[in-house]
Structure 1
Amino acid sequence: MSENQATHETIAQAFGRTTDPLAEYDGRFKQLDVDPFQLWLEEQVYTKDYAKGTVQALERPIDQWCEFMAERHDRHPAVPTTSHVMDFAHYYLEERDNSKNTVGVKLGTLSRVFRYFQSEPAFPHPTDFNPFDAAKGKIDLNGDDPKEPRPIPLEELRNVLQNEVKHVRDRALIVMQFKLGLRASETANIKLSEIHIANAELQDHYEELGTHPALEGRPNAVFIPHDRERNKSERPRVLPLDDELRRVLLQYLLCRPDNGEPWLFLSKSGGKKVGHTNINDVWKKYFRPEYGPNERYRGVSSHYGRHYFTTWFSIEREWPRDLIKYLRGDRQSGGKIRSTRDAIDSYIHAWYEDIEDRYREDIYKLRI
């Protein structure tokens, strides 16, 4: 629980209130054989003389919201918390590369639906709480985002990494995100046990290195869990480490603070687990202001490696969509995966062998 959330809880308890006033209605909404969002569309949209494009623009965020809640939260979409809405907004901002304006429009549409629930006597929604409006007040949606990530030629990226990023930890962080398409939070959450590098000196020094069961029989690879806090992926995955990434990781691990922390990447001061915001600061340190935001492009940040990685495999190498989904940790057909050892082993076994050799052959070389 965050410090602010704890403060909210304290205030609510003092006045006999709750920070989750809709929770009590979740079970009953799940039991209903009706769709309250469809009811809003039928009464507030389909009865109006709207153009087809307008109708679709109102339907789309509803479909996206309901799908998001079904896949990521065990909660009926008609009775969310503010945190659910904020997760939804951050997902479309950070993972789907939506602009702030686009996300603001989505939340505006969903707020209209919620106000309809509040105005109809059949619905139990209190009139003093709208989670969509509450979330909008806590997220920076001001200002127009550039529509596209900045295109940087591979040779320019090589130049930055070779000549600008000299610190061994910072270089390892950035190269890992470029090579594997990882989110900052996923990178911060890697444990020593979840990465294997075939090097006798490292293995002797770090006894736990590469001991995770998912890495058994898979040398020079990393395991990325899907259910660790802030990882956001739908599926776990094992990804190969190519020779360049192994080299920069070896350089880092040989001088990494030896303080008993289980995490791969540690902060420069204090030797604690590095945070996802710290990783974003690392990217900005080396790529800005030269590759900062302008009128056309968004500035390079820690999400840029994931974008570059996805674009490379989908456009430059024309990989099948299902293989790219595996690389990214996206949901495949079949819905959610059970977080059991057998389910995870079966899923990874079905995909890793398909991508390992092909990945090592196709991944871009950074010449470091």
Structure 2
Amino acid sequence: MVEPKRQLPEEVLVLIFRHLPLRDRAAAAAVCKAWASAVTCSTVWHDTNISCDCEQEGMLPPSLSTCLDHIRNLRLEFEPARKQSRWAAIQLLTALAGRAQGLRGLRLACRGEKPLFDSGSDILGAVHAVCRAARGLYLLDLRCLPFTLNDTLVLRVAHSCPELRSLFLDNCTLVGSVGPDSVLELLAACPNLRFLGLHLASLSPSALEMLAVPDRAPFMLLAVRCACPEDTRAPTLPDEAWAALRHRHPEMTVELELEPVLSADTVWRILQPSVPVAALRLNLSGDTVGPVHFAAQHYAASLRSLEVRAAASAALDTALENLAARCKGLREVHCFCVVRRAVLSAFRAHCPRLRSYTLKLTREPHPWQPTLVA
């Protein structure tokens, strides 16, 4: 313990306190005036991670409630099936909505299972309140919310947060309820949007055309998740529209996730040659070999990450070897089935930028851990 006359400098205390959970920050604030001054410093709260499962009281201690003014980027974890954790998250978001003028980034992450028939209306209502107050919001990441996101939320974000740069709505849900018209209204209201994550059913050719207009701010990432029944009925996004978008934003990349709900016809409607796919995740119930060959042929210049969940087969091994030979810029490849040794050798030989891979030669207990390349 440091003697009072040999107190650590405030800048050192700040570096320590920014890594403490809320209850420990509250305890530190009660030690002495110097610690109270350090723990309430805006630097401590600028980037804040809060887990509602780790806090004794589950929410911001009253003595530190004014520190909400200093939060610029918040990552909030909670478990929706646990009443105390869920209540704490709602209380914190509600309190933040009253002091959110300076908030720039909000990420919400759910842990554990979602209760059956849970629409998440209480959580989403709190998110609405934050968006209404935080007009300077730059980032809203709801990928880890298991609730259905709808047009009302998107339109609230569009009209309350005109400075938005990043919006991720490509979450795990059984229903896609964000319509293409709402996305068009979002793009019109937020001209500086550069990172966008959506379900396929929320996209339209008109959205790609709007992103490609000459006076649009540089667009960097489009994450597309295809996992809902609505996605199977989504209209085709023409290759010409992708080519125009790629020409307008040459640095843009696409993350594409294809889930078992998709039919073979839908998969081939999605896989257009001009899509600049950087990350491809294939978890298909049907043909996987064809999409891997397609990626090797058309996405060789852009592909950086590949994830495949499929049954082991000689045909899949051959497709992976072909992809390894063509996609030399790959940095990650994760195949969740046993492959032959030649597949591993091909990626190690042809992909000099490879940093992580899951390529198992024999069956192992799950979960499989990736191998890091030194």
TM-score bracket, shorter-length normalisation: under 0.3
TM-score (norm 1): 0.22
Structure number with the higher helix fraction is 1
Structure number with the higher strand fraction is 2
Q: Highest relative contact order (Cα 8 Å, sep 6+), 1 or 2?
A: 1
TM-score (norm 2): 0.22
